[in-house]
């Protein structure tokens, strides 16, 4: 009999987000509920808003994200100060 050689194509993933998820694991269902997670989301939204070419949309999103960052930062710092005093 002849020597059969065949090649099975490999799946190559190049999407950096999928690669990160495969490496670090999928998102936890409850993620985003803590103040620190909410702060991370607000900072990400602020940065992503830079991509909008419409100035009004960009300003609205960044304004809302800025308010969230300010409020959450005060809440986190206030909670840390209260814990330190206890």
Which tens digit of pLDDT belongs to each residue from 54-84?
A: 999 999 999 999 999 999 999 988 876 666 6
pLDDT on residue 85:
59
Q: What's the first-to-final CA gap in the chain, in angstroms? A: 82
Phi/psi of residue 6, each to 5°?
Answer: -145, 160
pLDDT per residue over 11-58, tens digit each?
Answer: 666 777 777 777 766 666 677 788 888 998 899 999 999 999 999 999
Say if residues 10 and 47 touch (Cβ distance below 8 Å): no
Residues written for the chain: 86
Angle value at C-alpha 70, between 58 and 29, nearest 5 degrees: 80
């Amino acid at each position: 009999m002849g020597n059969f050689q065949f090649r099975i194509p490999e799946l190559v993933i190049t999407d950096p987000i999928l690669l990160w998820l495969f490496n670090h694991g999928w998102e936890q269902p409850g993620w985003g509920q803590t103040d620190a997670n909410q702060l991370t989301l607000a900072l990400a939204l602020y940065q992503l808003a830079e991509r909008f070419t419409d100035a009004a949309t960009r300003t609205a999103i960044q304004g809302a994200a800025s308010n969230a960052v300010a409020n959450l930062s005060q809440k986190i710092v206030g909670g840390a100060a209260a814990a330190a005093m206890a």
